[in-house]
Structure 1
Amino acid sequence: MAAVLQPPSSLPTARLRLAPRGAVSLRVDGAWWPRSHHLLTELPPLISALPPEWGKIVTVTVNTQMWGDAPGRILAGHHVVRLRRESVWRSRHTVGLFEPDHGRRDLLVVPPELAPEDAEYLMAAVAAYGH
């Protein structure tokens, strides 16, 4: 059995914008702007920042082209979250969040190196329109 790695204790707040509830036929459910490509540091604050109605996220799908190495499981939001890595090109800039009762939700991942004004503009647009 693989070890579950714990994130650092002092985590910054996630930079996250979500589309309005009840929005119809969204391609993504919001946008997330991580500070780095290090999943062990970035995922715990993201999962903790999600609204309660999203439920308990148990699996996160990430693209291998965007993220550095990470364990198969991490501790996030006070529970173990399984990481699935994919190399599908079309999902390069998204992260999939799975919850058993509510299904899958996708967030656009804004590259950490993007200029703040561009990242804020992109996040606001995604939150407003969901695509």
Structure 2
Amino acid sequence: MNETALLFGSLFGGSAVIFGAFGAHALKKIFNDDQLKNFETAVKYQMYHALVLVAIGLSSLPPSDYLTYAIRCFIWGTLLFSLSIYSLTLSSALNKKIKLLGPVTPIGGLLLVAGWTLLFLLFISSKA
């Protein structure tokens, strides 16, 4: 069992439900359709990666560098990707768009891809 993966997976999962409900109810009144779609994308990706972290945490995968780095990539990637989109959509809706956050989103996305790649490499290396 990996406690870090479980901790962040449960934190991300619970907060994704809260953000999703907040977006569907409170923010629906102030967001336009594009902003709402962007916010929902952040919630989906946060939940997807919450689930993979919980799955990793509950799995019997042996400790390895691939696993450690995959978990770190999923955590940091989720934080950078989803939080930057939340911040961008909220600031845009308030007409105070924080343009500095624009480049943060793709960095988060690259970390998420790196996490999946590391997980793939872990599975390949365990079969060798």
- What TM-score do the two structures reach when normalised by structure 1? 0.26
Relative contact order (C-alpha < 8 Å, sep 6+): which is higher?
A: 1
More helix by share: 2
Greater radius of gyration (CA): 2
Task: Give the strand-richer structure, 1 or 2.
Answer: 1
